[in-house]
Amino acid sequence: MKIHGLQKMTLLDYPGRVACTVFFGGCDMRCPFCHNAELLDGSAPPVMDDGELLAFLKKRQGLLDGVAITGGEPLLQKDLPEFAAKIRALGYPVKLDTNGTHPDRLDRMIRDGLVQYVAMDIKNSPGRYAETAGLETLDLTPIRESVSILMNGSTDYEFRTTAVAELHDDSSFEEIGRWIRGAMHYYLQRFTDRETVPYEGLHAPTEEQMKRWADIVRPYVPAVELRGVE
């Protein structure tokens, strides 16, 4: 497997754990606000293969206590279950980031005990989902199924939305709240512009907007938290 990035230590990517973050290339969405746009088409040069990463993890046993797998969309990697099993064999719990477009693969990894925490993006309300994902059309059926798998299962998870001033409004979060009513955790992440973001002209919501949107969701999901807001 080709690994396109490695953050050797993070306190942010895996809640409650000192982890490393592994980046895979390739994604089936084209979100205009993506921070990892260089990974979308999988053309970025790999930095190592899975054997090199496993050797790194062996050396870090006792220093790290988790591995976060992200992308791109890591569930596009057909060998991901086998790769995660090797990480689990070293004693590391695995966190998976996903956009929810592959519920069958997500379900398999959960059922096989290969992932201990899932962070799934909720891009927007259903009516603006395709636009926010950078696509002309989008069948939400797989995404709804992934939401159901997480909410009806026993694996720790969070839903999260990257809030962009041009893409979200009050009604977005009213609809999202109704959709994920009763979810375990929901995070509102404030968009931050970077050189790697593929489109210009996008802006972060104000702190007041972020707090208002959290308040809109809170009657449906009490465990709402903000990221990127002091």
Give per-residue pLDDT as tens, 74-99.
999 999 999 999 999 999 999 999 99
Closest CA to 50 of 79, 28, 18: 79
Q: Give yes or no for a contact between 27 and 76, defined as CB atoms under 8 angstroms apart.
A: yes
The predicted structure's pLDDT at residue 196: 67
Task: Record the tokens describing residue 172, joined without a space.
Answer: 């977005």
The predicted structure's pLDDT at residue 192: 87
Distance between alpha carbon 142 and the CA centroid of its chain, in Å? 16
The predicted structure's pLDDT at residue 44: 77
- CA 99/CA 183 separation, integer angstroms: 16
- CA 77/CA 139 separation, integer angstroms: 21
- CA 162/CA 146 separation, integer angstroms: 18
The predicted structure's pLDDT at residue 29: 95
The predicted structure's pLDDT at residue 68: 98
Q: Which residues contact 99 (CB under 8 A, 6 or more apart)?
A: 27, 28, 29, 73, 120, 121, 123, 133, 143
Q: Give yes or no for a contact between 67 and 19, defined as CB atoms under 8 angstroms apart.
A: yes
The model carries a pTM of 0.95
Closest CA to 31 of 161, 223, 147, 118: 161
Give the fold, CATH level 3, of 2-227: TIM Barrel (3.20.20)
Intervals of the chain under pLDDT 50: none
Closest CA to 99 of 24, 48, 155: 24
Q: Give the domain ranges of the chain.
A: 2-227
Q: CA dist 110 to 47, 70, 72, 106, 113, Å? A: 28, 16, 20, 6, 5
Q: Give yes or no for a contact between 125 and 144, defined as CB atoms under 8 angstroms apart.
A: no
* E strand map for 58-124: 67-70, 94-98, 117-121
- List beta partners, residue 188: 161, 226
